[in-house]
Structure 1
Amino acid sequence: MIDNKKVLAIIPARGGSKGIPRKNIKQLAGKPLIAWTIEEAKKSRYIDRLILSSEDPEIIEIARAYGCEAPFVRPKELSEDTTPGIAPVLHAINQLPDFDYVVLLQPTSPLRLIDDIDGCIENMWNVGAPACVSVTKPDKSPYWMYTLQENNMMKKLIERSESITRRQELPDVYALNGAVYVAEVDWLLASGSFLEQETVAFEMAKSRSYDIDTEEDFFLCDLLLSKRF
């Protein structure tokens, strides 16, 4: 709870991962991937209820073993490859309507810390914004990126009148890292997205911003977590 406002945290974890089969419960540095998110979220000063949204019985069983509630089984139609990421969140809010704020914590960000979760909540509250999302500085600036046209002709992704030759001259840019999303429940139900003009950002270090999508990501996070402890 923050300033007498109730906070619901949702961990979405479907069973049909294609890139890495059974990714959400695959062993990562000695425990299932999803356990890293559950254990960190349980340390929060603000989260009143932490739940899992999944259609998969094995994921539900493992999440419960690590102390995460699973008050419902997610409908199959909200667990497809084409299901928008916001859909399970809106479904969970409608199942559990008595909350003021909602926090989305994807299990594919195992390096995030409680300081990132609570920091994102505090940032939204302190600036009076309806939503806050975590971001990080990308390795490569989009000002040095190109699209390929016909015959592989290069075209700058972002056109600028002046030429930039030094990295230090580039404007600071930030990318979503997928680790933490926070929003007012009523605002999110009305907007249907965490990302609107009113949304503010919470910057996270690159070292905690890995989002597991490939086997290489999994290997790297396993190595980093193994060295952390």
Structure 2
Amino acid sequence: MTTLATICARGGSKGLPGKNILPFAGLPLIAHSIRFALQHPAIGAVHVSTDDPEIARIAREHGATVPYLRPAELARDDTPKLPVIEHLVAHLEAQGSIVTRIVDLQPTSPLRAPVDLDGCLARFEAPDAPDLVLSVFDSGFNPYFNLVEELPAGRVCISKGGGLGARQNAPKVWALNGSIYVWRREALAHAARHGLWSVSVAAYAMPAQRSVDIDTADDFALAEWLHHRQPA
């Protein structure tokens, strides 16, 4: 397959301003995802979509291609991610690129390991291959056991099912960690119009210690601590 990596990094961040280029373990945060993709043999090229000139400059310095600055209508706080990826891939195809598979990497997930992408790609290439493989982790929370939701009168009830006395009896559930998405090209185009869950989806489970998604200063500190605990 012709596989490219996409990294979407908007300049505006409310929870942690400038988070995509903050220094993390000696490099701008986004550089970790760029280098991760460039070092993987399955990926032919790395492309960054950003509206921010400084992010674009740093991304290029670390080996990524930034074909344009993202239009303002695709860089709002409430802009969904899928149309941004589709916009980037469609632009590359208009320039002559042939794309059959897209690996989208979240720049705020610097702790992923090559084995995680290997696992996603293996699931994607299985005989019963889905349209999308995404990474998940066990958060410890379960709607059948310890997640509740508020009722109109202000009371709460268990979110799903009648409530179970032991976690072991609850169906297994996973939390999305946002780290890795592997898309079939046609499925990405469909999902950009109709939503992520309009295509067939399979999951690859990553350990919780590699699943931190940096959105706040506390997330950043935790990710740095976990990074320094990783074996060299």
Q: Same fold (TM over 0.5)?
A: yes
CA–CA distance in structure 1, aligned partners of residues 147 and 171 of structure 2: 14
Counterpart of 2:165, as a letter, is T
* Pairwise CA distance, 1:118: 2.8
Counterpart of 1:208, as a letter, is R
CA contact 2:4–2:103 (8 Å) conserved in 1? yes
CA–CA distance in structure 1, aligned partners of residues 178 and 24 of structure 2: 18
CA–CA distance in structure 2, aligned partners of residues 150 and 100 of structure 1: 47
CA contact 1:55–1:79 (8 Å) conserved in 2? yes
What is aligned with 1:102?
A: 102
Counterpart of 2:156, as a letter, is M
CA contact 2:131–2:199 (8 Å) conserved in 1? no
What is aligned with 2:86?
A: 90
Kindly indicate whether residue 134 of structure 2 is the aligned counterpart of residue 133 of structure 1. Answer: yes
Q: What value does the CA root-mean-square deviation take over the aligned residues? A: 1.5
Kindly indicate whether residue 142 of structure 2 is the aligned counterpart of residue 146 of structure 1. Answer: no
Deviation track 1:164-216 (CA, whole Å, cap 9, x = no partner) reads 22222222111111011111112221232443351111111111111112211
Find the residue that maps to 1:164 and give its secondary structure: coil
Alignment length (residue pairs): 223
| Pairing of 1:12-27 with structure 2 (within 5 A) | 12-27=8-23
* Pairwise CA distance, 1:138: 1.4
Kindly indicate whether residue 40 of structure 2 is the aligned counterpart of residue 39 of structure 1. Answer: no
**Residue segments in structure 1 that go unaligned for 5+ positions in a row:** none
Counterpart of 1:116, as a letter, is D
Counterpart of 2:135, as a letter, is S
CA contact 2:82–2:188 (8 Å) conserved in 1? no
CA–CA distance in structure 2, aligned partners of residues 94 and 148 of structure 1: 42
The counterpart of 2:55, out of the listed 56, 59, 64, is 59
Deviation track 1:1-34 (CA, whole Å, cap 9, x = no partner) reads xxxx101110000101111000100112222111
CA–CA distance in structure 2, aligned partners of residues 194 and 51 of structure 1: 21
What is aligned with 1:219?
A: 221
Kindly, what percent of the aligned residue pairs are identical? 37
CA–CA distance in structure 2, aligned partners of residues 49 and 179 of structure 1: 18
CA–CA distance in structure 2, aligned partners of residues 191 and 220 of structure 1: 33
TM-score w.r.t. the length of structure 1 is: 0.91
What is aligned with 1:174?
A: 174
**Residue segments in structure 2 that go unaligned for 5+ positions in a row:** none
TM-score w.r.t. the length of structure 2 is: 0.90
Find the residue that maps to 2:119 and give its secondary structure: helix
CA contact 1:183–1:194 (8 Å) conserved in 2? no
